[in-house]
Every structure is written in structure tokens, then in C-alpha cells.
């Protein structure tokens, strides 16, 4: 990832209007900022959320609250809890996420 073309700035995430993204079940609320080619998001998954797609986009993802279960296309799975992250490159390890109790994430992609 090359970070160029934007000055130093701060973000008050409470001021960013969320967009709704339904899953197979539940809802994701995304608060999104774009800086050049970099997308930064604060994402809140509702309890019972399950993604409606397999994702092959690269991310750096940090769990802030709750618990997130991520399943890879090869069947492996892992759980993120607050303070844990995962990192995956574009086109590597297609993944799909869900949460029973809800989760809040900080994502850079």
C-alpha cells in the first residue's frame, strides 16, 4: 500500500453518516472516508449478521468491540475479539464474516 496524495487530517467518526449494507442476515453500518486510493471504514455489524458474499479484497481489519467469526474459502475459520486484527492481500484467501452478538471494526483497504 502506498499512501500518497493527501494531507494530514483527523476524522470524527461520529460525524460520518453511515451507509447501510444488508447481509444474508443482519445489517452492517459503514462510516467511510476515502484518502486517495485508500478506503478507511468504521463498521458496526448487528447481532446475527452474516455476509452475503465471499470477499477477495485485501484489508487490514482491527476488532474494536464484540466478536467476529471469519471463514476462509478453504474451510479454515478464526475469531477476532477486541484488540485482535487480521491482514490479507487482494486476491488472497477469500473470506466471509459473521457475528452472533455484533462487532465493531476498523478497516483499511
* Neighbour count for residue 53 (Cβ, 10 Å): 9
Per-position b or e across 71-87, b if 16+ CB within 10 A of its CB:
beeeeeeeebeeeeebe
Q: What is this structure's pTM?
A: 0.91
pLDDT tens digits, 47-89: 999 999 999 999 999 999 999 999 999 999 999 999 999 999 9
Domains and CATH numbers, the chain: 18-108 (2.60.120.10)
Distance separating alpha carbons of residues 12 and 50, to the nearest angstrom: 27
Confidence grade of residue 4 (pLDDT, cut at 50, 70, 90)? confident
Amino acid at each position: 500500500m502506498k499512501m500518497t496524495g493527501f494531507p494530514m487530517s483527523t476524522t470524527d467518526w461520529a460525524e460520518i453518516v453511515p451507509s447501510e449494507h444488508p447481509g444474508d442476515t443482519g445489517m452492517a453500518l459503514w462510516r467511510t472516508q476515502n484518502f486517495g486510493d485508500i478506503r478507511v471504514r468504521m463498521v458496526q455489524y448487528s447481532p446475527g449478521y452474516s455476509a452475503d458474499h465471499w470477499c477477495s479484497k485485501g484489508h487490514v481489519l482491527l476488532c474494536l468491540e464484540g466478536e467476529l467469526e471469519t471463514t476462509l474459502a478453504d474451510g479454515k475459520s478464526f475469531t477476532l475479539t477486541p484488540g485482535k486484527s487480521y491482514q490479507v492481500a487482494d486476491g488472497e484467501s477469500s473470506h466471509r464474516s459473521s457475528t452472533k452478538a455484533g462487532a465493531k471494526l476498523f478497516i483499511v483497504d
